[in-house]
């Protein structure tokens, strides 16, 4: 650029700083200005909101929010690991740690915040950490693995609970110390805090509320050995993580004479321009906004970034404050608050739903005229998006009906179509329903990816993508555009319609189905990667009825299966496979444990006990699978179907046999159910659990079908889900005897298999299917469609015809022939599969993957 090109210097490159750069580029300012970025951390902007996901396997690279092609394309000069150290406002010069001096026309401070560490003795000892950056997490992980078994977190707010979850995930016994009388005191009230406390304590964490940290106890070696609390108690711990809030990083501004607030924060006006110097702006957590607030959420920071970019471009823009509503998942628990969550308005009313047993707490704050003012949701925040959008207005249904569980008497559900156009769908990027509709009607977007690119909705945290899809479909249909709901390009029918065709006409091959009912042009072809496994699953689930082979790798069926099903095992990172024997109900004899140990030892496998009460064996080469399974089958084990879209496990507590709280024999029931539904192919994997009492130790309400014992029998819950989008299961029926329980589960599972879309979990299916839980209850309990007898007979056929796939495989030489790495070199092991030692076991030698998963020269790899 010419030397007289105006220069913008950005100090700080976090999430808000990156959004500012994107806003500059969107307005063409990167073409007319020199843009220099000084970043303190050794890596460019990354997703700090998702920071804790590092401990569940997300790499620092995957957390990155910086596209280096974007940086290069727009000529942005990015200096990482080189923070600004001084600002001379008279000469308009910034000097970095490296000595780099940059003259600016416009300076934007996005220095963020720093963790607050209470001034207690011992706070600087070895084993004390803060929880703010990727480097912090790396240090915590290293120390925890080397010398810690117990950890303590100072602070029970948002970051404190995330930190506690991270320590527990590292295998540490974990304590949480919160000075306030409840957890998350800013976001939730006393009732919400109590529900959150119960749930977290049931996870095995120790919580100390209403007490502060008085001293960090330090051992002779200078490392942490404990904590003294202000209530006189002591906590023995090897590690302390301070997460007691943050403070604006405004020292650079103070040093150069910019005005800051009494409690910190760089004072700015409505354009985010500092009140001291019109050439300097501040955005994000370092800025004290014109309304007197320092905003600690990313969405307001994004708005501030857009405001400054617009102001530089001489467009009218102002930051007038932001909604502090939040929806988070902390330690696996949904927590949300919105609007006037604490009922500060005069003469307001509260509607509260609380279920202590399930850890649910929902409160709405309502004005006398019915206007929804705000609310708090703990344990189930599914309605957050709808409720938040209606805040400030009178909802079209009674507010109290919105907090009742789905399917309960008096409960109501409002879909996205009920929202007004001004409702914000994507709070991260402030995208309204009207903007999404406009993307479809005015910009001809017909898919969710197109709408995301057009509006930025769903491109940050992703929590709104489901609603986004519903709105796009609804708008297309409203515009008269025919929405193709076919399974794929080969079939114009839905999965449910194909299921009915296969069942009614007893079609037992993919080829016949495609030739008779495929789209024009697809008939006579080979199908695609979408329809082949979907139809393969349908045929497998109906095999005994339609006359197909029960063994899924017979004939044509083998070509339809997902990759893992090809070898009846899960492929891992380095091309090796895992073996997961079924352990019904988690109950196993010492003899069988010994067999697993011997197999793992003899084949050099990595062993791990899973959360589903069974043992994974990792590191087997494909040619070793039959040898391993021969020994396991001989010892009485059978396939655990970890590789298939089928029943995985039925988890259980010890029940009344051992537990003093148990009221039913949960182990026996779990074993009966797992043996009944083993091998049942379905649209997606199925998980279940049986708890022997209301304490819910088996976590049955997070499963596709969960059973909780009562003094009168069993309560059946359906549609639960863990994973990335957890959902509490809904109560389908209660106080059932054994026969009634199994009959309803039979019906529920077969109705799900019959009507769900491909790869649709029961949780998503239950929310999508018209009528939701009420309809499912009418069908499977009341038999409103008159199909229950058929559903039961379909399940009975499955149970009667089940055969263990591995038992059949190891006794059939023809089937065994597939278990080789190279077709024309069957005795040659795959040279890519390698391991290195770790903690007395093995792990994949991942650097070996850089040579590529390619076959040996002159050979054909399976």
**Sequence-distant (≥ 6) Cβ neighbours of residue 772 within 8 angstroms:** 406, 407, 413, 766
H or E segment and range at residue 282 = strand 280-282
Cα 301 to its chain centre, rounded Å, is 24
The span from the CA of 179 to the CA of 214, in Å, is 11
Q: Is the pLDDT of residue 406 over 80?
A: no
Give CA torsion, residues 537, 540, 542, 546, to 10 deg: 120
Which of the pair, 330 or 745, is modelled with greater confidence?
745
Contacts 24+ apart (CB under 8 A), 390-398: 390/414, 390/419, 390/423, 391/325, 391/338, 391/339, 392/339, 393/420, 394/369, 394/370, 395/370
**Sequence-distant (≥ 6) Cβ neighbours of residue 367 within 8 angstroms:** 345, 347, 348, 349, 373
The pLDDT score that the predictor gives to residue 825 is 56
Task: Lowest mean pLDDT of 394-408, 718-732, 777-791, name the range.
Answer: 394-408
Q: What is the mean pLDDT of residues 834-857?
A: 58
H helices of 445-576, in order, are 448-455, 465-478, 495-505, 510-517, 531-546, 557-560, 563-566
Parallel, antiparallel or unpaired: strands 7-11 and 34-38: parallel
Angle in degrees, 0-180, between the axes of helices 465-478 and 448-455, rounded to the nearest 10 = 110
Transcribe 622-670 into DSSP letters.
Answer: GGGHHHHHHHHHHTT--B--TTSSSEEEEEE--GGGT-TT--S-HHHHH
Q: What is the mean pLDDT of residues 671-680?
A: 95
Cα→Cα distances 607→269, 578, 585, 599, 657, Å: 59, 10, 19, 10, 29
CB 687 within 8 A of CB 649: yes
Give the highest mean pLDDT range of 44-53, 515-524, 565-574, 754-763.
754-763
The pLDDT score that the predictor gives to residue 106 is 97
pTM of the model: 0.57
Cα→Cα distances 222→125, 126, 127, 219, 243, Å: 6, 6, 9, 5, 22
The span from the CA of 697 to the CA of 670, in Å, is 13
Count other C-beta atoms under 10 Å from residue 338's C-beta: 28
Q: Percentage of the chain with pLDDT > 90? A: 50
pLDDT bucket at 724, cuts 50 / 70 / 90: low
The pLDDT score that the predictor gives to residue 330 is 66
Give bridge partners of residue 152 from the DSSP assignment.
Answer: 175, 240
Which of the pair, 354 or 427, is modelled with greater confidence?
354
The pLDDT score that the predictor gives to residue 386 is 76
Q: Is the pLDDT of residue 613 over 70?
A: yes
> 66: number of CA atoms within 13 Å, CB side?
24
pLDDT bucket at 443, cuts 50 / 70 / 90: confident
Sign of the dihedral through C-alpha 691, 693, 697, 703 = positive
**Sequence-distant (≥ 6) Cβ neighbours of residue 3 within 8 angstroms:** none
**Sequence-distant (≥ 6) Cβ neighbours of residue 654 within 8 angstroms:** 662, 666, 667, 692
Give CA torsion, residues 567, 533, 772, 768, to 10 deg: 120
> pLDDT of 665-674, one tens digit each?
999 999 999 9
The pLDDT score that the predictor gives to residue 11 is 97
Q: What is the mean pLDDT of residues 543-560?
A: 84
> Which token pair is 694?
């209301």
CB 749 within 8 A of CB 741: no
Give the highest mean pLDDT range of 27-36, 314-323, 384-393.
27-36
Task: Lowest mean pLDDT of 193-202, 226-235, 616-625, name the range.
Answer: 193-202
Sign of the dihedral through C-alpha 491, 492, 495, 497 = negative
The span from the CA of 754 to the CA of 641, in Å, is 20
- Phi, then psi, of 44 in degrees rounded to 5: -70, -175
H or E segment and range at residue 778 = helix 772-780
The pLDDT score that the predictor gives to residue 563 is 64
> pLDDT of 140-186, one tens digit each?
999 998 889 999 999 988 888 888 988 988 889 999 999 999 888 88
Q: What is the mean pLDDT of residues 383-412?
A: 71
**Sequence-distant (≥ 6) Cβ neighbours of residue 566 within 8 angstroms:** 553, 558, 818, 862
Q: What is the mean pLDDT of residues 516-524?
A: 86
The span from the CA of 286 to the CA of 109, in Å, is 8
> pLDDT of 691-714, one tens digit each?
999 889 999 999 999 999 998 999
> pLDDT of 560-574, one tens digit each?
777 677 788 877 766
The pLDDT score that the predictor gives to residue 202 is 78
Q: What is the mean pLDDT of residues 96-125?
A: 95
The span from the CA of 476 to the CA of 311, in Å, is 36
Q: Is the pLDDT of residue 852 over 50?
A: no
Report which DSSP code applies to 126: B
Q: Is the pLDDT of residue 648 over 70?
A: yes
Which of the pair, 726 or 22, is modelled with greater confidence?
22
Q: What is the mean pLDDT of residues 258-274?
A: 95
Q: What is the mean pLDDT of the chain?
A: 86
Q: What is the mean pLDDT of residues 497-514?
A: 92
Q: What is the mean pLDDT of residues 597-613?
A: 89
H helices of 665-761, in order, are 666-677, 738-755
Give the highest mean pLDDT range of 389-393, 462-466, 856-860.
389-393
693 annotated ligand binder: yes
The pLDDT score that the predictor gives to residue 409 is 46
The pLDDT score that the predictor gives to residue 462 is 60
Q: Is the pLDDT of residue 855 over 50?
A: no
pLDDT bucket at 90, cuts 50 / 70 / 90: very high
The pLDDT score that the predictor gives to residue 860 is 37
Task: Lowest mean pLDDT of 517-521, 547-551, 847-851, name the range.
Answer: 847-851
pLDDT bucket at 415, cuts 50 / 70 / 90: low
Task: Lowest mean pLDDT of 195-199, 329-333, 813-817, name the range.
Answer: 329-333
Q: Is the pLDDT of residue 488 over 90?
A: no
CB-based burial label for 501 (10 Å; 0-12, 13-18, 19+):
middle
> Which token pair is 262?
């009494």
**Sequence-distant (≥ 6) Cβ neighbours of residue 254 within 8 angstroms:** 260
The pLDDT score that the predictor gives to residue 551 is 86
697 annotated ligand binder: yes
The span from the CA of 234 to the CA of 217, in Å, is 9
Q: Is the pLDDT of residue 824 over 60?
A: no
């Amino acid at each position: 650029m010419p030397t007289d090109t105006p220069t913008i210097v950005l100090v700080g490159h976090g999430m808000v700083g990156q959004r500012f750069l994107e806003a500059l580029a969107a307005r063409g300012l990167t073409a007319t200005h020199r843009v220099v970025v000084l970043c303190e951390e050794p890596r460019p902007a990354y997703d700090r909101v998702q920071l804790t996901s590092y401990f569940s396997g997300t790499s620092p690279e995957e957390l990155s929010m910086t596209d280096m092609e974007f940086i290069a394309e727009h000529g942005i000069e990015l200096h990482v690991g080189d923070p600004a150290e001084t600002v001379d406002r008279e000469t308009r010069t910034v000097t970095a740690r490296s000595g780099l001096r940059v003259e600016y026309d416009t300076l934007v401070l996005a220095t963020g915040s720093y963790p607050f560490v209470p001034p207690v003795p011992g706070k600087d000892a070895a084993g004390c950490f803060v929880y703010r950056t990727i480097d912090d997490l790396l240090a915590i992980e290293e120390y925890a693995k080397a010398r810690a078994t117990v950890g303590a977190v100072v602070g029970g707010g948002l970051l404190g609970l995330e930190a506690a979850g991270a320590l527990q995930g590292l295998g540490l016994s974990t304590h949480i110390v919160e000075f306030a009388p409840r957890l998350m005191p800013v976001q939730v009230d006393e009732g919400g805090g109590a529900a959150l406390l119960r749930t977290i304590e049931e996870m095995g964490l120790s919580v100390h509320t209403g007490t502060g940290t008085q001293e960090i106890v330090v051992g002779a070696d200078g490392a942490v050995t404990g904590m003294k609390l202000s209530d006189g108690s002591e906590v023995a711990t090897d590690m302390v993580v301070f997460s007691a809030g943050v403070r604006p990083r405004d020292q650079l501004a103070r040093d150069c004479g910019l005005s800051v607030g009494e409690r910190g924060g760089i004072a700015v006006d409505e354009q985010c321009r500092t009140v001291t110097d019109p050439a300097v702006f501040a955005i994000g957590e370092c800025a004290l906004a014109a309304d007197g607030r320092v905003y600690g959420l990313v969405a307001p920071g994004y708005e501030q970034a857009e405001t400054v970019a617009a102001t530089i471009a001489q467009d009218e823009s102002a930051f007038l404050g932001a909604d502090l509503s939040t929806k988070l998942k902390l330690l696996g628990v949904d927590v949300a608050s919105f609007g006037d969550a604490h009922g500060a308005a005069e003469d307001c009313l509260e509607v509260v739903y609380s279920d202590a047993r399930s850890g649910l707490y929902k409160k709405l704050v309502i004005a006398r005229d019915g206007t929804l003012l705000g609310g708090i949701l703990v344990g189930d925040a599914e309605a957050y998006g709808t409720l938040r959008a209606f805040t400030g207005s009178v909802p079209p249904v009674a507010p109290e009906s919105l907090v009742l569980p789905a399917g309960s008497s008096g409960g109501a559900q409002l879909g996205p179509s009920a929202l007004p156009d001004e409702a914000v769908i994507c709070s991260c990027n402030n995208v309204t329903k009207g903007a999404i509709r406009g993307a479809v009607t005015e910009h001809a977007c017909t898919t969710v990816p197109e709408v995301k690119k057009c509006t930025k909705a769903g491109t940050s945290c992703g929590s709104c993508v489901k609603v986004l899809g519903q709105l796009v479909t609804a708008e297309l249909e409203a515009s008269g555009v025919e929405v193709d709901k076919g399974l794929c390009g080969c079939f114009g029918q839905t999965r449910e319609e194909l299921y009915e065709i296969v069942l009614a006409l007893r079609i037992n091959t993919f080829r016949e189905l495609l030739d008779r009912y495929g789209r024009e042009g697809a008939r006579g072809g080979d199908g695609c990667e979408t329809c082949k496994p979907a139809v393969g699953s349908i045929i497998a689930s109906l095999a005994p009825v339609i006359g197909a082979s029960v063994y899924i790798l017979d004939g044509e069926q083998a070509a339809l299966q997902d990759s893992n099903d090809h070898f009846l095992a899960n492929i891992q990172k380095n091309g090796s496979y895992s073996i997961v024997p079924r352990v019904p109900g988690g109950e196993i004899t010492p003899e069988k444990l010994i067999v697993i140990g011997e197999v793992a030892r003899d084949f050099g496998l990595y062993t791990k006990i899973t959360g589903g009460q069974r043992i994974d064996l990792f590191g087997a080469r494909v040619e070793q699978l039959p040898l391993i399974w021969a020994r396991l089958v001989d010892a009485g084990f059978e396939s655990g179907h970890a590789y298939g879209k089928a029943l995985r496990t039925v988890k259980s507590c010890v029940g009344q046999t051992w537990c003093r709280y148990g009221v039913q024999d949960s182990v026996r029931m779990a074993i009966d159910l797992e043996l009944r539904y083993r091998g049942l192919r379905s649209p997606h994997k199925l998980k279940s659990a049986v708890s022997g009492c209301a304490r819910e130790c088996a976590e049955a309400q997070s499963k596709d079908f969960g059973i909780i014992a009562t003094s009168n029998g069993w309560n059946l819950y359906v549609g639960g889900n863990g994973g990335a989008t957890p959902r509490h299961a809904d109560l389908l029926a209660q106080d059932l005897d054994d026969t009634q329980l199994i009959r309803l589960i039979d019906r529920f599972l077969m109705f799900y298999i019959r009507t769900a879309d491909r790869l649709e979990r029961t949780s998503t299916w239950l929310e999508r299917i018209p009528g939701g839980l009420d309809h499912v209850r009418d069908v499977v309990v009341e038999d409103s469609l008159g199909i229950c007898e058929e559903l039961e007979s379909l399940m009975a056929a499955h149970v009667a015809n089940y055969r263990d796939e591995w038992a059949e495989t190891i006794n059939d030489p023809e089937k065994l022939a597939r278990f080789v790495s190279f077709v024309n070199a069957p005795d040659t092991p795959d040279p890519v599969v390698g391991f290195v030692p770790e903690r007395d076991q093995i792990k994949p030698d991942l650097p070996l993957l850089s040579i590529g998963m390619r076959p040996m020269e002159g050979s054909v790899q399976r």
